[in-house]
Amino acid sequence: MNVMEQFRLDGRVTIVTGAGMGLGRAMALALAQAGSHIVIADIRADEAQEAANEIRSCGVEAIVVQTDVTDEAQVEALIRQVEEQYGRLDVLVNNAGIVHKDRAEELPYETWNRVMNVNLNSVFLMSKAAGKVMIRQGKGSIINISSMSGLIVNTPQPQAAYNVSKAGVIMLTKSLASEWAPHGVRVNTIAPGYMKTKLTEPYFAAGGEMIDKWLAMTPMGRPGVPHELGGIAVYLASDASSFATGGVFTIDGGYTIW
């Protein structure tokens, strides 16, 4: 078998949540470059359409389905639309997420629930709906985007809700991998470290105590950039990772080794 051919995704169909910008957009583009058609599920339609236009330049189809991934009815409608339009669903990338930096004793319960809904509950809802299709097919790959924050406690910023939500994604990944392996459905998670995206770039540009500490605690001495998740996303989506399930793939510049 040609090793490089295992990474091809020609003709496959992938849903990426939150792909209108940042890490989701970069991973969607990488998957498209490997040959997959892309369905962008994002609550921000304008940014999602811009991403879809860029993705189409790779010679694949790209559609946008405006979706609130915390709403079960909208999630189920999304999956039905994809199955009706394409007749299959090969890959799901659960990327949508938010972060709030609040001291625990001051964190509003409403904010806690919002973080859990977007970061963890949506992963369950999307995986449940997509998993049913993949189980019927006897094959599929689910890639959850957790964080190194699900493995360690970040410092100096307080973000208990985010950390707990991402730890939950890791355990959900392992639980689903265990249940669905007999059906040919693989479930893995990517745990990124500090990444320089459109949203975080101003913080890195401004610098300061927090950024200095982040970089000092990262052996590689720099943040990651979105395209550096493209390779691992293609690997986990493709047949190249056919024996990988329940894995936590930490891409953090070495932050968690200390």
**pLDDT, tens digit (0-9, with 9 covering 90-100), for 51-65:** 999 999 999 999 999
Instruction: Give yes or no: 203 in active site.
Output: no
pTM of the model: 0.97
**What is residue 51's predicted lDDT score, i.e. its pLDDT?**
97
pLDDT for 71-105, tens place per residue? 999 999 999 999 999 999 999 999 999 999 999 99
**What is the dihedral sign for C-alpha 107, 110, 111, 116?**
positive
Contact (Cβ atoms closer than 8 angstroms) between residue 197 and residue 22: yes
Which one-letter DSSP state was computed for residue 194?
Answer: S
Q: State yes or no: cis peptide before 156, omega within 30 of 0.
A: yes
* Residue found by looking up tokens 């979105």 in the block: 226
- Residues of the chain with confidence (pLDDT) below 50: none
Of 227, 224, 232, nearest in space to 248 by CA: 232
Residue type, 224: G
> What topology does CATH give the domain 4-250?
Rossmann fold (3.40.50)
Of 113, 81, 117, nearest in space to 96 by CA: 117
**What is residue 234's predicted lDDT score, i.e. its pLDDT?**
98
Listed by start position, the domains of the chain span 4-250
- What whole-number distance in Å separates Cα of residue 166 and Cα of residue 145? 8
**What is residue 198's predicted lDDT score, i.e. its pLDDT?**
86
**What is residue 24's predicted lDDT score, i.e. its pLDDT?**
98
**What is residue 199's predicted lDDT score, i.e. its pLDDT?**
83
Of 86, 162, 203, 255, the catalytic one is: 162
**What is residue 1's predicted lDDT score, i.e. its pLDDT?**
72
Strand partners, 141: 91, 186
Contact (Cβ atoms closer than 8 angstroms) between residue 17 and residue 24: yes
Give the neighbor-by-neighbor strand order of the sheet with 13-17. Answer: 62-66, 37-42, 13-17, 91-94, 140-145, 185-192, 248-251
Chain mean position to CA 141 = 12
**What is residue 208's predicted lDDT score, i.e. its pLDDT?**
94
